[in-house]
Amino acid sequence: MIEILMSLGKTRGPLVRPNSNAGQWKTVCGSLGILLWALSSSASASLFGSNLIVNGNAESDTGSASGYDVIRPITGWAATSNVTVVKYDAPGGFPTSIDPGPSERGFNFFAGGPGNSFSTLQQAIDISSIASQVDGGDVRYVLDGFLGGYFNQDDNVKVTVSFLDSSSGTLATGQLGPVLASDRSNATGLVYRRTDGLVPVGTRTIDVLLEFTRSAGVYNDGYADNLSFVLNNNSSAIPEPASAWPFGILLFCWLFYRGRNGFCWWSCKHRNQAVRA
């Protein structure tokens, strides 16, 4: 855009009244427009193609080595009851580093925790910065992760994503799990689950809720790891209104500059040549 502005300036001939501020205007306007365009593009782009769940892999905190410590706080999540973070290979039958589960499982997983029948983890994802794309009906999501439990118990965890409008009304939901003992062939460990769909028009916030439910014993053995929520934009490359306003600033600057210096451009060269001749 700077080159375009400068090339426009170069077409002007000696008939144009001198303006010592012309170069400054072009530089300031061009730089401002490009800077704002870059900032708005990066803000929108940052929500697409990457995992938007904070600490979905349970690796942000040091997990309990015994499985019976209630870890607080749990980074990125609001926790209820005794939900906790447990190290793989904790003694007493917790999942090991070689049981069924993610190939890259890190050190920890989430567990429903000791001495409770129901616990939760929750976090909200703000997507209001891509409202124009969402309302264009072109944004899709993929929700996936590993869910599991202990031995032949049906202790489980269910992941629900709720698509909320600007008034926190629920427009739709998506769900992973629950994974029961039969889904794991009665083996301790975690199995992969995935779902996808269209982000409803009007969505501004996505609420992610993990519900851990005990079915047997004392410990709530719903397990989860490597949770991921990714948005993809299927719209064309035509700038959406939210990302097009820097171009409006550029247009304003150019019109302002031309208003101060006259609106001739492609005809100036020939006119000036004729005058000089």
Give dist(CA 50, CA 42) in Å, integer: 13
Give dist(CA 28, CA 2) in Å, integer: 10
Q: Which of 144, 154, 211, 225 binds Ca ion (CB under 5 A)?
A: 225
Does 106 contact Ca ion by CB under 5 A? Answer: yes
Helix, strand, or coil here: 165?
coil
Closest CB to Ca ion among residues 113, 174: 113
Cα angle, residue 27 at apex, residues 25 and 28 outer, rounded to 5°: 65
CB of 57 to Ca ion, least distance (A): 4
**What is the residue-wise DSSP string for 69-105?**
S---S-TT-EE-TT-EEEETT-TTT---TTSSS-SS-
Does 219 contact Ca ion by CB under 5 A? Answer: yes
Does 76 contact Ca ion by CB under 5 A? Answer: no
Residues 131 to 160 in contact with Ca ion, rule: CB under 5 A: 153, 155
DSSP character at residue 130: G
CB of 62 to Ca ion, least distance (A): 12
Closest CB to Ca ion among residues 55, 203: 55
Helix, strand, or coil here: 85?
strand
Instruction: Please name which of 90, 153, 82 lies closest in space to residue 113, comparing C-alpha atoms.
Output: 82
CB of 95 to Ca ion, least distance (A): 10
Contacts of residue 131, defined as CB under 8 A and 6 or more positions apart, other chains included, come to 204, 242
Does 262 contact Ca ion by CB under 5 A? Answer: no
* The CA-based dihedral angle spanning residues 228, 234, 236, 240, taken in that order and rounded to the nearest 10 degrees: -60
Q: Which of 55, 57, 84, 156 binds Ca ion (CB under 5 A)?
A: 57
Give dist(CA 110, CA 231) in Å, integer: 23
Closest CB to Ca ion among residues 130, 181: 181
Size of the site for Ca ion (CB under 5 A): 11
Q: Tell me which stretch binds Ca ion (CB under 5 A): 23-31, 192-200, 220-228, 249-257.
A: 220-228
Does 58 contact Ca ion by CB under 5 A? Answer: yes
Residue 146 has φ and ψ, to the nearest 5°, of: -110, 130
CB of 106 to Ca ion, least distance (A): 3
Closest CB to Ca ion among residues 84, 233: 84
Give the residues lining the site for Ca ion (CB under 5 A): 57-58, 105-106, 108, 153, 155, 217, 219, 221, 225
